A and B are shown apart, each in its own frame.
Chain A
Amino acid sequence: EAQVTQNPRYLITVTGKKLTVTCSQNMNHEYMSWYRQDPGLGLRQIYYSMNVEVTDKGDVPEGYKVSRKEKRNFPLILESPSPNQTSLYFCASSRTGGGSYEQYFGPGTRLTVT
């Protein structure tokens, strides 16, 4: 089954404790992306990747890091989480960049930072 998986689904942590949210896709997609969803703001793009070792900032990259060492994986790293990073996070992938292909989304990770 074609899918995007994320782990963990739920995470409660404390300020400053480094964490990683994993994302993996099994569709051989080139383009992968991370979004955060906040009430009233829709989805905002954090980082995206056009292919292995090619990453770039979205609209809200502050406080986040990513890496793309393998085509299927695109982890999101919060090196020193803060309460304003409490949010619902989605990973997504699409066949290529360029904007003409639909994105496939993971189930989401709900992060709470206290």
Chain B
Amino acid sequence: AQSVAQPEDQVNVAEGNPLTVKCTYSVSGNPYLFWYVQYPNRGLQFLLKYITGDNLVKGSYGFEAEFNKSQTSFHLKKPSALVSDSALYFCAVPGNFNKFYFGSGTKLNVKP
């Protein structure tokens, strides 16, 4: 069955430093992979997706993600974190029969 895992409940980073939020996947075949962000008291917003092609995917708000097939990972990255990036981040993968599976979420704290 398709699934994703986010091994870190929380990531702390200082403003201006690079950030990484980790996601690993278990998918049969070629995966579609997504990242979403949830700001406090809001619904989820789409950040970026990997369908096929370049392993480095660029998305909204300066975020990017690197697809690594050998490590079955799809880590979210940003070169320089902002306080306003503090939020809950979810990776997601479509499953069989048009279902969708989300990771457990990683809370990103960016300190000034």
Total contacts A-B at CB 8 Å: 65
Q: Let me know if A105 and B98 touch, CB within 8 A.
A: no
Q: Which residues of A contact B94 (CB under 8 A)?
A: 98-100
- The answer to whether the Cβ of B51 comes within 8 Å of any Cβ in the partner chain is yes
Query: When the two chains form their complex, are residues A102 and B104 in contact, meaning their CB atoms are under 8 A apart?
Result: no
Known: A40-B104, A42-B90, A99-B93. 17 other contacts (CB 8 A): A33-B100, A42-B104, A43-B44, A45-B99, A58-B99, A59-B101, A99-B98, A100-B32, A100-B51, A102-B34, A103-B36, A103-B44, A104-B46, A105-B43, A107-B42, A107-B43, A108-B41
A-B contact pairs, 8 of them (CB 8 A): A41-B104, A44-B102, A45-B99, A99-B93, A102-B49, A103-B100, A104-B46, A107-B43
Shortest CB distance A80–B (Å): 25
Give the interface of A toward B (CB within 8 A).
Answer: 4, 31, 33, 35, 40-45, 48, 50, 56, 58-59, 90, 92, 97-100, 102-108
B residues near A, CB below 8 A?
6, 9, 32, 34, 36, 41-46, 49, 51, 90, 92-95, 97-105
A59 and B102 contacting across the interface, CB-CB below 8 Å: no
Cβ contact of B46, chosen from A31, A40, A103, A107, cutoff 8 A: A103
A65 to B102, CA, bound (A): 21
Most central of A43, A97, A98 by chain B CB within 10 Å: A43
Task: Specify which of B9, B34, B43 lies most central, judged by the most chain A CB atoms within 10 Å of its CB.
Answer: B43
Name B99's contact: one of A4, A48, A100, A107 (CB within 8 Å). A48
A43 vs B41: C-alpha distance in the bound complex, in angstroms? 15
Please give, as numbers and ranges, the residues of chain B lying within 8 Å of A42 by CB-CB distance.
6, 90, 102-105
